[in-house]
Chain A
Amino acid sequence: MHEFALAKALKQTITSKYNDHSKFIVYIGQIQNIELEVFKAALSEEVHDLNISLIFQEVPAKIRCNICGYEFLYNSLGLSDDQQEDIHFLPEAIYVYVKCPKCKSNDFEVVEGRGIFIAPYN
């Protein structure tokens, strides 16, 4: 599963950057279409020896058109399962399938909700 690669990346980030912290928030961009249960299972395998606690927060994906400025949400687009699957592996596949609902431009930006980020908290 590709969630396992992401779990590994998360562990590598924690052990190399944050080995003096034990509590983290993991921000998961909606556009990644991550299966949270699979991701958590993969993570518990990867990090069980680290003695840390993780909180997960999904970040809704917000998109802004670079031409007309219109803002729209990823979950309003009605993409097919196959399209979402491609975007799940490579979020930039969104540029194949999506156009601005207002002006039909394919020049837009995912302003929020792309990628996986981690931050420690106290």
Chain B
Amino acid sequence: MLPIIDIRVQALKERIRKIKKIVVVCSSKGGVGKSTAAYILSCILSKSKKIALCDFDFTGPSLHLLLDTNKTFTEENGIKLPEVSQNLFFLSIVFFTHDKPLALRGNNISNIILELFTIADFENIEILIIDTPPTTSDLILDILKYLENADFWVVSSNSLLSYHSVNNFVEVISQRTRNLELLILNKIFPDDPESFKIFEKLKSKFRRIISLPYINNIHGYYGKIKEVRSLDFIEQIEKDIVDFM
């Protein structure tokens, strides 16, 4: 008997071949600001590039809240992503679950990844930014398997506990990828630099380290792409990451 082949595997390969850059925003820790960082960096990058911001936290999606949008896909040669702001496109499982809760096992997660890449139209998208749930579980392993050339942006808060966890996380994924591009230290206070030092050791594993300050009244920036772009630290971030794009 000749093998039976899942048609989605090839579809995924061909989809990602056309995308210039795929960024995975990840961390072993929850609550460090992966989704927030993915949102802020998408606001910055969509100034000049076509971005697809994808929520791969399938059981705890939050980007629709950060983008403050209930826009959904349209059907056209597969599913066409909504443009939530100029050049910023969006993909989330909430299009299909309407934000109702669900529990998934690892093989469901693989199926969702394959399915989304088969049906989603990423035509003309230049950068895919993928937000992920915490931990080094099935999802990250699948990403390492299917999205071989992805660049990893690892998020940590500025604390010993986060450092410890992220340090181990980085050690595990660095055995599988050389694309540790950015270490993002999030929720930094102006009088913080002391504990900052523990990250010196991690720094050498990444091409760059950036820090995002603690933002007061962060909820006021949800769905406000222009306001995010005019925050005072944005210009520095833009300079820091421009050569990756």
Contact = CB atoms under 8 A, between A and B. Distances in A.
Given A8-B11, A13-B10, A89-B96, A117 B102 contact: no
Interface residues on A, range: 35 or more
Contacts of B97: 86, 90, 93, 96
Contact of A1 (B7, B77, B93, B108): B77
Interface stretch (B24-32, B115-123, B184-192, B193-201): B115-123
A54 interface: no
A72 interface: no
Interface residues of B, number: 38
Contacts of B102: 92-93, 95-96, 106
A5 B10 contact: no
Contacts of B115: 90-92
Interface in B7-29: 7-11, 14
B7 A117 contact: yes
A9 interface: yes
Interface string A29-48: 00000000000000000000
Q: Which of B78, B95, B100, B108 gathers most chain A CB within 10 Å?
A: B78
A5 B121 contact: yes
B111 A92 contact: yes
Interface in B29-84: 58, 75-79
A107 B10 contact: no
Contacts of A1: 75-77
